[in-house]
Homo-oligomer: A and B are copies of this chain.
Amino acid sequence: MGKADNPDPNSLLPLSPVVFSILLVLAGSEKHGYAIMKEAALPEGGGVTMGPGTLYGSLDRMMRSGLVEETGFTDNERRRYYRITKFGSEVFSAEAARLARVMNTVRRKALLEGARQ
Protein backbone atom coordinates (compact mmCIF):
# COMPACT_ATOMS: atom_id res chain seq x y z
CA MET A 1 0.00 0.00 0.00
CA GLY A 2 1.62 3.20 -1.22
CA LYS A 3 1.24 5.99 1.28
CA ALA A 4 -0.25 8.41 -1.24
CA ASP A 5 -3.74 8.01 -2.60
CA ASN A 6 -3.96 11.71 -3.25
CA PRO A 7 -6.06 13.08 -6.10
CA ASP A 8 -4.72 14.97 -9.09
CA PRO A 9 -3.27 18.27 -7.78
CA ASN A 10 -5.09 20.12 -10.53
CA SER A 11 -8.44 18.98 -9.18
CA LEU A 12 -7.98 21.31 -6.18
CA LEU A 13 -7.43 24.39 -8.37
CA PRO A 14 -7.92 27.24 -8.28
CA LEU A 15 -6.81 27.82 -4.68
CA SER A 16 -8.32 30.63 -2.66
CA PRO A 17 -5.94 33.51 -1.88
CA VAL A 18 -5.88 32.45 1.78
CA VAL A 19 -4.87 28.86 1.03
CA PHE A 20 -2.28 29.93 -1.54
CA SER A 21 -0.69 32.41 0.87
CA ILE A 22 -0.51 29.84 3.66
CA LEU A 23 1.24 27.39 1.33
CA LEU A 24 3.54 30.18 0.14
CA VAL A 25 4.73 31.13 3.62
CA LEU A 26 5.14 27.45 4.53
CA ALA A 27 7.17 26.76 1.38
CA GLY A 28 10.76 26.41 2.54
CA SER A 29 10.29 26.22 6.28
CA GLU A 30 7.77 25.07 8.84
CA LYS A 31 6.05 27.67 10.98
CA HIS A 32 3.53 27.99 13.77
CA GLY A 33 0.05 29.42 13.23
CA TYR A 34 0.60 32.93 14.47
CA ALA A 35 3.78 33.29 12.39
CA ILE A 36 1.87 32.16 9.29
CA MET A 37 -0.79 34.79 9.96
CA LYS A 38 1.79 37.58 10.35
CA GLU A 39 3.82 36.62 7.27
CA ALA A 40 0.78 36.20 5.05
CA ALA A 41 -0.13 39.81 5.87
CA LEU A 42 3.21 41.10 4.53
CA PRO A 43 3.40 42.10 0.84
CA GLU A 44 5.82 39.22 0.11
CA GLY A 45 3.40 36.80 1.76
CA GLY A 46 0.52 37.94 -0.40
CA GLY A 47 -0.77 40.78 1.71
CA VAL A 48 -3.58 38.56 2.92
CA THR A 49 -4.94 39.75 6.26
CA MET A 50 -6.83 37.08 8.13
CA GLY A 51 -8.21 36.71 11.63
CA PRO A 52 -7.70 33.65 13.78
CA GLY A 53 -10.98 32.13 12.62
CA THR A 54 -9.85 32.11 9.00
CA LEU A 55 -6.34 30.92 9.89
CA TYR A 56 -7.19 27.93 12.06
CA GLY A 57 -10.27 27.02 10.03
CA SER A 58 -8.14 27.00 6.87
CA LEU A 59 -5.33 24.99 8.51
CA ASP A 60 -7.92 22.39 9.61
CA ARG A 61 -9.31 22.05 6.10
CA MET A 62 -5.83 21.96 4.61
CA MET A 63 -4.80 19.16 6.97
CA ARG A 64 -7.92 17.20 6.10
CA SER A 65 -7.17 17.51 2.37
CA GLY A 66 -3.52 16.60 2.92
CA LEU A 67 -1.89 19.92 1.96
CA VAL A 68 -0.19 20.51 5.32
CA GLU A 69 0.52 18.55 8.49
CA GLU A 70 1.53 19.22 12.06
CA THR A 71 5.18 18.54 12.74
CA GLY A 72 4.91 17.55 16.39
CA PHE A 73 7.99 19.66 17.03
CA THR A 74 7.71 22.41 19.60
CA ASP A 75 10.14 24.98 20.95
CA ASN A 76 7.47 26.46 23.14
CA GLU A 77 4.44 24.71 24.56
CA ARG A 78 2.22 27.48 23.20
CA ARG A 79 3.23 26.88 19.60
CA ARG A 80 2.04 24.29 17.10
CA TYR A 81 4.16 23.93 13.99
CA TYR A 82 2.89 23.14 10.51
CA ARG A 83 4.73 22.02 7.40
CA ILE A 84 3.70 21.67 3.77
CA THR A 85 3.38 18.06 2.55
CA LYS A 86 4.74 16.67 -0.70
CA PHE A 87 1.22 16.69 -2.07
CA GLY A 88 0.83 20.27 -0.84
CA SER A 89 3.95 21.24 -2.78
CA GLU A 90 2.55 19.68 -5.93
CA VAL A 91 -0.71 21.57 -5.54
CA PHE A 92 1.20 24.77 -4.81
CA SER A 93 3.32 24.34 -7.95
CA ALA A 94 0.27 23.66 -10.06
CA GLU A 95 -1.42 26.81 -8.79
CA ALA A 96 1.75 28.87 -9.30
CA ALA A 97 1.87 27.63 -12.91
CA ARG A 98 -1.78 28.55 -13.40
CA LEU A 99 -1.15 32.03 -12.01
CA ALA A 100 1.90 32.45 -14.24
CA ARG A 101 -0.30 31.75 -17.29
CA VAL A 102 -2.88 34.20 -16.01
CA MET A 103 -0.22 36.87 -15.56
CA ASN A 104 0.89 36.31 -19.15
CA THR A 105 -2.63 37.03 -20.27
CA VAL A 106 -2.71 40.15 -18.08
CA ARG A 107 0.51 41.44 -19.68
CA ARG A 108 -0.70 40.66 -23.19
CA LYS A 109 -3.97 42.49 -22.58
CA ALA A 110 -2.14 45.45 -21.05
CA LEU A 111 -0.13 45.76 -24.27
CA LEU A 112 -3.23 45.66 -26.44
CA GLU A 113 -4.74 48.24 -24.12
CA GLY A 114 -1.85 50.64 -24.67
CA ALA A 115 -1.85 49.97 -28.41
CA ARG A 116 -5.48 50.66 -29.12
CA GLN A 117 -6.90 53.66 -30.94
Q: How far is the CA of A46 from the CA of B13 in the complex (A)?
A: 10
Among the interface residues A27, A96, A102, A103, which one has the most CB atoms of the partner chain B within 10 A?
A: A102
How far apart sit A43 and B96, CA to CA, in the bound complex (Å)? 13
Within 8 A of B (CB), among A34-57: 43-48
Chain A interface residue count, CB cutoff 8 Å, equals 29
- A16 (CB) vs chain B CBs: closest residue: B16
So how many copies of this chain end up in the complex?
Answer: 2
Tell me, yes or no, whether A72 is within 8 Å of chain B by CB: no
Q: How far is the CB of A54 from chain B (nearest CB, A)?
A: 12
B47 and A13 contacting across the interface, CB-CB below 8 Å: yes
A75 at the interface (CB under 8 A from B): no
Are A24 and B113 in contact, with the CB atoms below 8 A? no
B105 A45 Cβ-Cβ under 8 A = yes
In the bound complex, what is the Cα–Cα distance between A24 and B112 (angstroms)? 13
Q: A24-B105, A46-B98 known; 12 other A-B pairs, CB under 8 Å? A: A14-B47, A20-B102, A24-B102, A24-B106, A27-B113, A43-B101, A45-B105, A46-B105, A47-B98, A99-B99, A100-B103, A103-B103
